[in-house]
Amino acid sequence: MLDPWYPPPGEYYVPLSEAVHYPLRQGDLVGPVTIDGRATPIVQVVHPTCELGKGQVDRIQVCAVEELSRLDDDFTRSCVVAGMRETGGSFRVAFAHTFFLPGIHAHDEGMYGNFRRRYLVDRAEVCLENRSAALTHDARVFFIRRWIYFRFRILLSLNQVRGLEADRIRADRAFEGPRPAWADDTNHAP
Amino acid sequence: MSNSTDLNLETFPYGKFRAEYRHIIDGHASQPFALGPHGRPEVVVVPSQLYQGMVDQCRRLEEMSRTIPILLTAAQAGVAFPSDSLAALGYRPQFDATRLANFVSHLALGATHDEEGQPLPESHIPLTHEPVEEDDLELTYRDSIVGA
């Protein structure tokens, strides 16, 4: 399979000026939120998007976002950034429980979502006003692919995930905000 | 009588080998030798352990031939691509997350093996999303406080 694990770092986040048009979705970064009574600067929403608006959902599933600088050494950091590593003539998945995230601002260091460290956060804190960054539709495809691999050890190609996501968006009558070009109603070949 | 050849291998005539094979083999427990007439090697005899090592090295080279082009590209670009092979060669460029992220995102390169080294299965099943209408029903609990 020839698909990289991540999009180019410049294509992760919706520009701040446009983010207001995008509702909160899975993969977005929010913070600060309260976890175990302590303020946590930033977390990543892993809760299914369609559940976020339901009145009975009072706690939202998120995963920890950690800074690359917290890791022991540069080799470990490079494994997280690439999502894989070469060893013995093969390219192995590296740290499947991580999802690399570039810094939100140009001067920020890189980060990663840690799928092993998941929490439930009060929904009042997981809201648009508290959103730090909105994932682009393209980046969300990469996120979903990595999430599926981590949760079920099922490896889909980017095209498969993008195709499924495009079909889902086309069928979603409640879809809000700008659509990705590959899920345009007139474009059925993602 | 034996000769050294261009292969730099001791070469035994067939007749001598037939008569003294046990002695010759025991004397070459860890190195190959050749057989052939007049010191011209026709056959090379390799101890089994050495042969297994050669097979392993060939397999490793074959595997490396698939990854080497990518690793060379990484080395030329000066990015810190995580590679045991490059590290073994002493290649340790400065880590720059953005440069590395840009590099890997533009490569037609994906993982071939899982974290434990097992080949990754690849789905060839054509997938189509089937639109379904989700019900709005929510779970209700017997011990819920009435009116809460």
Q: Is the pLDDT of residue A123 over 70?
A: yes
B97/A68 Cβ within 8 A: yes
Chain A positions touching B71 (Cβ under 8 A) are: 86
Q: Is the pLDDT of residue A190 over 50?
A: no
A82/B82 Cβ within 8 A: yes
A94/B112 Cβ within 8 A: no
Q: What is the CA radius of gyration of chain A?
A: 17
Q: Which residue has the tokens 């990595």?
A: A146
pLDDT at B104: 95
Inter-chain CB pairs, A–B, below 8 Å: 151
Chain A positions touching B98 (Cβ under 8 A) are: 9, 102, 110
The closest of A29, A16, A17, A55 to A139, measured between CA atoms, is: A29
Which two tokens mark B27? 């004397």
CA distance A60 to B36: 79
Q: What percent of chain A has pLDDT over 90?
A: 86
Chain B positions touching A175 (Cβ under 8 A) are: none
pLDDT in tens, A57-86: 999 999 999 999 999 999 999 999 999 999
Cis, peptide link before residue A8, omega less than 30° from 0: no
Cα angle: A113, vertex A117, A123; to 5 degrees: 85
ipTM for the whole complex:
0.91
Average the pLDDT over each of A105-109, A151-155, B118-122 and give the range with the smallest value.
A105-109
Is-contact A11 A136, C-beta < 8 A?
yes
**Mean pLDDT in residue range B106-116:** 87
CA distance B87 to A142: 28
**Mean pLDDT in residue range A48-52:** 92
Burial B100-132 (b: 16+ CB within 10 A, else e): bbbbbbebebbbbbbeeeeebeeeeeeeeeeee
A153/B129 Cβ within 8 A: no
pLDDT at B109: 79
pLDDT in tens, B19-72: 999 999 999 999 999 999 988 999 999 999 999 999 988 887 887 787 888 999
CA distance B148 to B132: 32
A160/B82 Cβ within 8 A: no
Q: A48 in contact with B at a CB cutoff of 8 Å?
A: no
Residue to test with chain B: of A51, A52, A77, A78, most B Cβ within 10 A:
A78
Q: Is A4 exposed, middle or buried (0-12, 13-18, 19+ CB in 10 A)?
A: buried
A3/B123 Cβ within 8 A: no
